[in-house]
Amino acid sequence: MSKSPEITADHVRVAVVGGGPAGLMAAEALARGGVRVDVYDAMPSVGRKFLMAGKGGMNITHSEPIEPFAGRYGKRRADIAPLLDAFGPDALRGWLDDLGVATFVGSSGRVFPVDMKAAPMLRAWLHRLRGAGVQFHMRHKWNGWRASESSSAHGLGFTTPQGEREVTADAVVFALGGGSWARLGSDAAWVPLMQQRHIPVAPLLPSNCGFDADWTDYFRDRYAGQPVKPVSITVEGVDGTIQHRQGEFVVTSTGIEGSLVYALSATIRDRLLADGEATIRLDLAPGLSAQRVIDEVTRPRGSRSMSSHLHSRIGITGVKLGLLHECVSKDDFTDAAKLAQAIKSLPLRLARTRAIDEAISSAGGIPFEALDRALMIRHLPGVFCAGEMLDWEAPTGGYLLTACFASGLVAGNGALAYLQTP
């Protein structure tokens, strides 16, 4: 009979569990304070999701003023604002500059590294951390709590290729990510482990996600993959507020996704959760007034078909014309007045969110009410949480990363202060 792998045990000063931006920022804050830091991550290398997010151009933060910036965090604005006070978008750009990563502001106000890449930034950061003495332990997946001989220390168990490993730490910073992109490490396996210690966890939900629309086979086969632009979306929230944005989205084989959809995804998702379905309204001609559309559509069209008439008078063609055929009855399509109304307010029923693992990020997690201002769990002194593990969400545009960096710094400084307290 084969012998079971031997369990190794170590004592460390601070264990940072999770090697994304939040965890690495916590490690930097602690190392800067002269503390020995050990970073544990389940993946073969750190920053996997960070690198994937940067493949299309590393949008690191946003240049808009801090007031509207903080407003992007919705109902958690009051909780995120102190983190941004500690390390906001300007401080993040300064930190990047000190790291040797120059940035620029794009036409949309988004901030990018000059080379548009995440990998050089991560390499420079890891070089700095290793130079400060941070130790990295890869392929170490946290699998639960362990007993500790000291009431003030915390025992952790890890699964590694060499077998089980137990670590005792004087303080712990968890930065294990949310529930999206499990293949890159954010698999939410930490949720039941936290609940074992009576730490509340709000259900994880997809955020910055796509939605299913139950297309007809004809529409799906003809238009999947095509962008819809320019277009605006209006949706009513469960609290009665009206959300309205203009931009573009993409028709997929299952529904819709893209930047405009992501910006409204929280409102659409919450409506789906409340009602079982959600109806958004599309303005297919956002550059034209309602009266102008009525005037153009109701003009005599002679022998031309309605489709040709729409193309020549207001530029409705291709996928926009397909959406009209998909969502408007045949009778209404031939009624110029009703068709004009549909062009400016086309109802599109959405049936489901896409799976959380497909989402860019997730909502839900450990609520701020369970944490103190330093992001320490109130009933577990010396245990801190940061990043997407926390119950907040934000749209794409640099807001997600900025809050992850900021929360990591606050948690790291909080752990440092905890260790220095007699």
CB 354 within 8 A of CB 210: yes
Nearest-5° angle of CA 68, CA 271, CA 219?
105
180 lies in some domain:
yes
Statement to judge: residues 171 and 243 lie in one domain: no
Mean pLDDT of 156-173: 96
Strand partners, 136: 39
pTM over 0.75: yes
User: How would residue 176 be classed by pLDDT, with cut points 50, 70 and 90?
Assistant: very high
> Distance from CA of residue 318 to its chain's centroid?
32
Alpha helix (H) residue ranges in 112-210: 119-131, 190-196
Q: Which residues contact 369 (CB under 8 A, 6 or more apart)?
A: 200
Statement to judge: residues 58 and 113 lie in one domain: yes
With pLDDT > 70 as the criterion, what percentage of the chain qualifies? 98
Pairing of the two strands 163-174 and 8-17: parallel
2 lies in some domain:
no
Q: Which residues contact 163 (CB under 8 A, 6 or more apart)?
A: 4, 5, 6, 7, 8
C-alpha closest to that of 212 among 116, 259, 278, 143: 278
- Pairwise CA distance, residues 235 & 241, whole Å: 9
User: How would residue 148 be classed by pLDDT, with cut points 50, 70 and 90?
Assistant: confident
Identify the pLDDT of residue 151.
75
Statement to judge: residues 167 and 220 lie in one domain: no
Q: What is the pLDDT of residues 260-273, one digit of tens each?
A: 999 999 999 999 99
Token look-up 């002269």 returns: 34
Statement to judge: residues 299 and 407 lie in one domain: no
Number of residues that make up the chain: 422
179 lies in some domain:
yes
105 lies in some domain:
yes
Statement to judge: residues 78 and 177 lie in one domain: yes
Identify the pLDDT of residue 150.
78
3 lies in some domain:
no
Identify the pLDDT of residue 234.
98
CB 327 within 8 A of CB 353: no
Number of domains in the chain: 2
Question: What is the torsional sign of CA 14, 194, 9, 130?
Answer: negative
Identify the pLDDT of residue 59.
94
1 lies in some domain:
no
Ordered strands of the 346-350 beta sheet: 346-350, 278-283, 227-236, 242-251, 255-257, 211-212, 352-353
Statement to judge: residues 317 and 412 lie in one domain: no
**Which class for 316: exposed (0-12), middle (13-18), buried (19 or more C-beta within 10 A)?**
buried
CB 125 within 8 A of CB 99: yes
Statement to judge: residues 311 and 230 lie in one domain: yes
Nearest-5° angle of CA 183, CA 185, CA 189?
105
Mean pLDDT of 150-161: 91
Residue 2 pLDDT greater than 60, yes or no: no
Tell me which of 328, 353, 378 is where a domain ends: 353
Identify the pLDDT of residue 149.
77
Statement to judge: residues 216 and 348 lie in one domain: yes
Statement to judge: residues 231 and 313 lie in one domain: yes
Q: What is the pLDDT of residues 280-313, one digit of tens each?
A: 999 999 999 999 999 999 998 888 888 999 999 9
Alpha helix (H) residue ranges in 197-317: 217-223, 259-263, 265-275, 290-297, 306-314
346 lies in some domain:
yes
Q: What is the pLDDT of residues 62-119, one digit of tens each?
A: 999 999 999 999 999 999 999 999 999 999 999 999 999 999 999 899 999 999 999 9
User: How would residue 5 be classed by pLDDT, with cut points 50, 70 and 90?
Assistant: very low
C-alpha closest to that of 260 among 288, 241, 240, 286: 286
Q: Which residues contact 422 (CB under 8 A, 6 or more apart)?
A: none
Q: Any idea what the CATH number is for the domain that residue 411 is in?
A: 3.50.50.60
Q: What six digits make up the tokens of 143?
A: 């699998």
User: How would residue 232 be classed by pLDDT, with cut points 50, 70 and 90?
Assistant: very high
* Type of residue numbered 354: R
Statement to judge: residues 197 and 226 lie in one domain: no
Residue 336 pLDDT greater than 60, yes or no: yes
Statement to judge: residues 202 and 215 lie in one domain: no
Strands (E) located in 323-422 = 346-350, 352-353, 361-365, 383-385
22-49 burial by CB neighbour count: b if 16+ within 10 A, else e? bbbbbbbbbbebebebbbbbbbeebbbb
Other CB atoms within 10 A of residue 125 CB = 23
For 400, the domain range is 8-206+359-420
Tell me which of 307, 332, 353 is where a domain ends: 353
- Pairwise CA distance, residues 375 & 381, whole Å: 11
Statement to judge: residues 389 and 409 lie in one domain: yes
Mean pLDDT of 274-285: 96
User: How would residue 350 be classed by pLDDT, with cut points 50, 70 and 90?
Assistant: very high
Mean pLDDT of 318-342: 93
| Average of per-residue pLDDT values in the chain | 94
Q: What is the pLDDT of residues 6-42, one digit of tens each?
A: 566 678 899 999 999 999 999 999 999 999 999 999 9
- Pairwise CA distance, residues 404 & 21, whole Å: 6
Tell me which of 316, 331, 353 is where a domain ends: 353
Give the DSSP H/E element, type plus range, for residue 99.
Answer: helix 89-99
